[in-house]
Amino acid sequence: MVKILFRDKEWELQAGMTVRDAILKVGLDPQAVLAVRDGKLINEATILKNGDTIRLIAVISGG
């Protein structure tokens, strides 16, 4: 399984999908978030592996 974290939310998804698919699966817009694994930015085509923890970071800010 892959753990996806975004703000105070958390999801568990099957391994084997891309970052982009995972973002869509949890209902977010791939344009509006970036994915970080082990503190490193990863691209949207990266295939997620069992045991991965992915933190999604919102890019939209205002103020």
Partner 1 sequence: MKCRKCGAVAVINMRQHKLALCDEHFLEWIPQQTQRAIRKYRMFGPRDRILVAVSGGKDSLSLWDVLLRLGYQAEGLYIHLGIDSGGYSDSSLEYVERFAAAREGARFRVVDVKAEYGQSVPELARRTHRGRKPCALCGLVKRYIMNRVAYEGGYDAIATGHNLDDEVAVLMQNTLRWQTGYLARQAPVLPSTHPKLARKVKPFVRLYERETAAYAIVRGIEYIYDECPYAVGSTTNFYKELLNQLEGRSPGAKLGFYLSFLEAKRQGAFSQTKEALELNECEKCGQPTTAPGLCAFCRLWER
Sign of the four-CA dihedral 39, 43, 49, 54: positive
Provide the β-strand partners of residue 35: 42, 56
Please report how close the Cβ of residue 53 comes to partner 1 at its closest, in angstroms: 16
Size of the site for partner 1 (CB under 8 A): 20
32 binds partner 1 (CB under 8 A): yes
| Out of 8, 12, 38, 40, the residue judged to bind partner 1 by CB under 8 A | 40
Measure CA of the first residue to CA of the last residue in the chain; give whole Å: 37
Tokens describing residue 16: 């084997």
**Interface contacts to partner 1, rule CB under 8 A:** 29-32, 34, 36, 40-46, 57-63
